[in-house]
Amino acid sequence: MYQQISGTDLMVSRIVYGCMTLPVDPRAALNALRAALDCGITMFDHADVYQRGAAEAMFAAIWRDEPGLRQRIVLQSKCGIRQAGDPTAQDPKRYDLSREHILRAVEGSLQRLATDYLDILVLHRPDALVEPDEVAEAFTRLTAAGKVRYFGVSNHNGAQIELLRRAIGAPLIVNQLQFSVLHSHLVNAGIITNQNDPPHAVRGDGTLEYCRAHDITIQAWSPLARGQVSGHLPADADERTRRTAALVAELAAQHRVAPEAIVLAWVLRHPARMQAVIGTTDPARIAACVAALGVTLSREEWYRLFTTGRGVEIR
Ligand SMILES: NC(=O)c1ccc[n+]([C@@H]2O[C@H](COP(=O)([O-])OP(=O)(O)OC[C@H]3O[C@@H](n4cnc5c(N)ncnc54)[C@H](OP(=O)(O)O)[C@@H]3O)[C@@H](O)[C@H]2O)c1
């Protein structure tokens, strides 16, 4: 259920509750958060842009309900995405990892979350115009002010992390990446090296191995593939999605768990010991997800799901 994030004193649940789609209705939001806590989830993932700050602000209501909770959970937020129109009408959507933006964004998150510190600050997307020295300076200031304990990245490849690491004194402890049985490029890239006709374009080449080699915990985002293979099959689903949904249902029946548990057990079975950042707001589905921790897929089951989700047999 729990694991230590390498290189830190943070003991966290392997399943993280993602707050991107936290309901704006306070009762529904608190129900979801309480369901997560009741299931033993101790880590919560935010970003300043989730619902334009409303998700962080809504989350703060939990402190009233659960005094002393702040010290018992690990709170993570992200910065670096700026929406179109911020601050003036002609400004495009863009990434911004400038010193000023990082510092300003963290202030905003702390205010909305009604807390003095983030356990982890994550850089949401790689900024094409990043100046690693500026990131380093922002991190140094945030650490000195006691506003952030640890730092991580999201959607970064190994080379981008290396570029930052050269400037930043502090370790980068997590990398949040999309990963699920329907979106398995991280694994696929590692097994098609030097082969012709890869079934998917190679994305994230070496990222998984880089993170493992440097003790960076991978946090899988959209690990449920938004329910597509666990009960929410799109009407226009392609063949591989249909077949994967059927296989998930078959394995769920064999393991006597809900389909969600199989989809997540596939992510958690990988030896990188990833965390899975789930986004369901349904209390029953949250509990079904946590049941994944009781399922250990065999090598054969794991590969069946991998190749079915990939849509092409391996060589
Ligand atoms: N770093 C990044 O760039 C990035 C990007 C995206 C997300 N994230 C993080 O990852 C978290 C999870 O992302 P996600 O929400 O995309 O992932 P997810 O957990 O794969 O999907 C959750 C969504 O799928 C729906 N769903 C799941 N199973 C379903 C079913 N059987 N039937 C109907 N609906 C079903 C849920 O609806 P219900 O609420 O009704 O269950 C919810 O809307 C986010 O909250 C955020 O923290 C990070």
pLDDT in tens, the chain (315 residues): 999 999 999 999 999 999 999 998 999 999 999 999 999 999 999 999 999 999 999 999 999 888 899 999 999 999 999 999 999 999 999 999 999 999 999 999 999 999 999 999 999 999 999 999 999 999 999 999 999 999 999 999 999 999 999 999 889 999 999 999 999 999 998 888 777 765 555 666 899 999 999 999 999 999 999 999 999 999 999 999 999 999 999 999 999 999 999 999 999 999 999 999 999 999 999 999 999 999 999 999 999 999 999 999 988
DSSP assignment letter at 8: S
Asked about 50 being catalytic, the answer comes back as yes
Which backbone phi and psi does 202 adopt, to 5 degrees?
Answer: -75, 115
Count of CB atoms situated within 10 Å of the CB of 55: 24
Q: Is 134 exposed, middle or buried (0-12, 13-18, 19+ CB in 10 A)?
A: middle
Residues 174-214 pLDDT 10s? 999 999 999 999 999 888 877 776 555 566 689 999 999 99
Count of CB atoms situated within 10 Å of the CB of 313: 8
Integer Cα distance of 86 and 104 in angstroms: 13
- Please give the C-alpha separations between residue 236 and each of 179, 228, 230, 240, 269, in angstroms, as whole numbers: 22, 11, 15, 12, 29
- Outline where DSSP puts E strands in 73-140: 74-79, 81-82, 94-95, 118-123
The residue ranges of every structural domain in the chain are 2-310
Q: Which residue has the CA at smallest separation from atom 41 of ligand 1?
A: 280
Answer whether 218 contacts ligand 1 (Cβ < 6 A): no
Assigned superfamily of 2-310:
NADP-dependent oxidoreductase domain (3.20.20.100)
Answer whether 227 contacts ligand 1 (Cβ < 6 A): yes
